[in-house]
Amino acid sequence: KFLEKLGISSEVHFLRTVMDGIPPLKDNHLLIKDLRFDKIEVRIYQPKTPTTVRRRGVLYFHGGVGQFGSIRAYERTCRYFTKKSNSVFVSVGYRLAPEYPFPTQFEDCLAATVHFMRIAEDYGVDPARVITCGDSSGGTIAAAVAQAMTNRKDLPKLRAQILIYPFLQAVSFNLPSYEQNRGVPVLLKKRTVALGLKYLNKDQSVLDEVLKSAHIPRDLELKYKEWLNPDNIPEDFKPKDYQQRKENQFSEDLYRLAKPMLEPFFSPLLAEDTVIAQLPETFILSCEFDVLRDDALLYKKRLEDHGIKVTWCHLEQGFHGIIFLANYGRITSFKTANKGLQMIVEFLKSI
Q: What is the pLDDT of residues 117-156, one digit of tens each?
A: 999 999 999 999 999 999 999 999 999 999 999 999 999 9
Average pLDDT over residues 265-288: 98
Least confident of 8-17, 53-62, 257-266: 8-17
Of 62, 215, 314, 320, catalytic: 320
The CATH number assigned to the domain holding 197 equals: 3.40.50.1820
C-alpha 184/C-alpha 274 separation (Å) is 36
pLDDT of residue 19: 78
pLDDT of residue 203: 93
Which amino acid is present at 127? P
Of 62, 85, 251, 290, catalytic: 290
Q: Which of 111, 80, 118, 79 is CA-nearest to residue 93? A: 111
Q: Has 320 been annotated as catalytic?
A: yes
Reported as a pLDDT band with limits 50, 70 and 90, residue 25 is confident
Q: Which of 74, 89, 59, 62 is CA-nearest to residue 149? A: 59
| Domains identified in the chain, total number | 1
Reported as a pLDDT band with limits 50, 70 and 90, residue 1 is low
Domain carrying residue 158: 1-350
Instruction: Give the CA angle between residues 169, 206, 174 to the nearest 5°.
Output: 40
Q: Has 253 been annotated as catalytic?
A: no
Q: Give this prediction's pTM.
A: 0.94
Of 87, 136, 172, 286, catalytic: 136
Which residue did the predictor score with more confidence, 244 or 197?
A: 197
Q: Give backbone dihedrals phi and psi of 117, rounded to 5 degrees, phi first.
A: -65, -30
Q: Has 136 been annotated as catalytic?
A: yes
Measured between alpha carbons, how far apart are the two ends of the chain, in Å?
A: 43
